[in-house]
Amino acid sequence: MIHKNVITDFCQKEYTPVIDESAYIHPLAAVIGNAVVGKRVMVSPFASIRGDEGQPIFVGDEANVQDGVVLHALETEHNGHAIDKNLVEAQGKKYAVYVGKRVSLAHQVQIHGPAYVGDDTFVGMQSLVFRAKVGSGCVIEPGCIVMGVTVPDGRYVPAGTVLKKQDDADRLPAITDDYPMKDLNKDVVHVNTSLADGYNRMDLE
Please give the positions annotated as active site. 53, 75
Pairing of strands 88-90, 81-82: unpaired
According to DSSP, the residues that pair with 77 across neighbouring strands are 82
Distance (Å, whole) CA 96 – CA 154: 23
Minimal CA–CA distance to 150: which of 187, 109, 121?
121
Distinct helix (H) and strand (E) counts, the chain: 2, 24
State phi, psi for 180 to the nearest 5 degrees: -60, -25
Amino acid at 205: E
The CA distance from 78 to 88, in Å, is 17
